[in-house]
A and B are shown apart, each in its own frame.
Chain A
């Protein structure tokens, strides 16, 4: 495996805007590269993203491979996976790390098979062992246990990293940027974005205060919204509410959603399923309200109020407004 060298990070962008969690991965990759005396290469595909590419050195990239083509404005699997496969074949990186966003996972699964290589998915830690094998911790079975997984076969070694796990860091120096042709024939592209509709979303992985609605709210969000607004918090939900389509999955808290890192979580009517509590374990203070005096969420709460949220919340809102 001597010829496979360096750590690559796939930098995700959408319409010219870089995905924050790609920078988290890039920063971690740089720390690992420094320990191993390796180089970090950021790979950025997009329509017109030269200016964004220039910023990647600050967050850890030694080099940037930049591919620009109108077809690459939004992520779609066919052109992106073809270009990435070609670059990997030509340049042979030892490792390729991506953020475990929808698009990162979409691309990673395909490339791992293409190169018959190991992919550690959705890690919450990332290291190399003494033999240079990529190693990550993966929460399993709803977050109750952590599997330590290694890549043992194939190159590049691959991992996708849960967004919000690592911090974006600043590094000195500028990255050397290399522009590469996409080589795409628009006629041959098999997946194309033809229309889209998006709303501005708040990234709650960075929120200091979050009010989280569980099944106990029945998905009735009026009081939840009012409380959040009053105390300057953002809103999250548990998995069942997202499963039922009552809230977008982007604000689902837990091991298959967002891992929160802020100072205060107020949990309303959530029982405390294992996959959920792993999303609030890093919060400074956890306050819960639940009808059930013995719900599992009690074990994960600093302050546990036994009662009906629909009775307590209106009174609480009134008191908070009075000051």
Chain B
């Protein structure tokens, strides 16, 4: 038995430590920040490639974002994905979870013929992990979140997945086709093969779909299709702290700290 398509959703995120907030204009200055594949999505891709190695199938990466994400999708190809699709359309800008999950589910349906869909558990740029289960609902398939591994896929169309829970983990039996959200850091994503990377950069043809290609009307997506709205942005001011600095030898510092702890406890 070989698996059918294993689809991985992927997002490109700014490196958060490089972002700046402008309190005057209440906007985020993304300009200075570098970008990367959302780290949890890389773990999802690695898991997809491992599943393919064991059970067969074709790994397809799908992403919804601007054209400049192309090199990151090619990086996924270099890591070993068989195909990559970018859904890109100005109409999608400003989408909250509802139109985002709708768009990704339409793209997944268009790719079709899938057994497993893997998402990163959440995106590092303010993600809240609501996208994976939302996609599963649009597709009408079961889902399991916060998984660290797919232990087995059996001939009776079921899989055993390892899910992280409070204080430990559990094994969940889930019926195929299913969607799973993959935990950040659960595996070590492979480095791209050098030759494959060169091939991906020079020859791989990325498929790009518009909203219309997915049969989506402008009313369903973007700000219009969203069910939440951001009414204000506030800067979080750091709390007032004493900011007393202590320097000296380790002996002196340990003395000071011991004294301090005794005085406040």
- Residues of A in contact with B (beta carbons under 8 Å apart): 14, 74, 76-78, 81, 100-102, 105-114, 116-122, 135, 137-154, 160, 190-201, 209, 231, 242-245, 248-250, 256, 264, 273-275, 277-278, 281-282, 285-287, 289, 293, 298-308, 311-313, 315-316, 318-320
Which A residue sits closest to B248, measured CB to CB? A307
Contact mask for chain B residues 175-190; partner A; CB cutoff 8 A; 1 contact, 0 none: 1001000001110000
Cβ-defined contact, A193 with B171, below 8 A: yes
CB pair B171 A196 closer than 8 Å: yes
Contact between chains at B166 and A201 (CB < 8 Å): yes
CA of A252 to CA of B226 in the docked complex: distance in angstroms?
Answer: 31
Q: Which residues on the B side are within 8 Å of A306 (C-beta)? A: 245-247, 253
Chain A residues with CB below 8 A from B114, complex form:
none
Query: Which residue on B lies nearest to A209, using beta carbons?
Result: B265
What is the number of residues of chain B that contact chain A, defined by CB distance less than 8 Å? 79
Q: Which of A144, A201, A274, A301 contacts B243 (CB 8 A)?
A: A301
Confirm or deny: B203 has a beta carbon within 8 angstroms of a beta carbon on chain A: no
* A96 to B72 alpha-carbon distance, docked (Å): 38
Cβ–Cβ contact B170 & A303, under 8 A: no
Report how many A-B pairs have Cβ atoms within 8 Å: 277
Are the C-beta atoms of A198 and B233 separated by less than 8 Å?
A: no
Partner of A118, one of B133, B178, B227: B227
Contact A281 B238, beta carbon cutoff 8 Å: yes
Q: Is B205 an interface residue (CB 8 A)?
A: no
Sample (13) of A-B pairs whose CB atoms are under 8 Å apart: A102-B165, A106-B145, A113-B97, A140-B126, A145-B233, A151-B228, A152-B228, A194-B173, A200-B167, A231-B261, A281-B239, A301-B243, A315-B251
Task: State the majority secondary structure of interface residues on A.
Answer: mixed
Given contacts A147-B230, A316-B254, A198 and B244 within 8 Å (CB-CB): no
Which of B129, B133, B236, B241 touches A302 (beta carbons < 8 Å)? Answer: B241
| Residue B90 is within 8 A (CB to CB) of chain A in the complex | no
**How would you classify the secondary structure of chain B's contact residues: helix, strand, loop or mixed?**
mixed
Q: Which of chain A's residues has its CB closest to B14's CB?
A: A141
Given contacts A141-B19, A200-B167, A302-B242, is CB(A77)–CB(B133) below 8 Å? yes
- Asked if A194 contacts B171 (CB within 8 A), the reply is yes
Residue in A81, A138, A243, A300 whose beta carbon sits within 8 Å of that of B238 in the complex: A300
B134 at the A interface (CB under 8 A): yes
Tell whether A304 pairs with B251 under 8 Å between CB atoms, given A197-B168, A199-B167. no
**Which A-chain residue is minimally distant from B125 (CB atoms)?**
A141
Contacts of B229 in A (CB 8 A): 149-150, 152
Closest 7 CB pairs of A and B: A121-B128, A198-B168, A118-B227, A315-B254, A109-B133, A196-B170, A109-B130
B170 — nearest CB in chain A belongs to which residue?
Answer: A196
Q: Which residue of A lies closest to B176 (CB)?
A: A190
Interchain CB contact (< 8 A) of A113 among B19, B128, B138, B233: B138
Q: Which of A145, A146, A195, A304 contacts B171 (CB 8 A)?
A: A195
Q: Are A105 and B145 in contact (CB under 8 A)?
A: yes
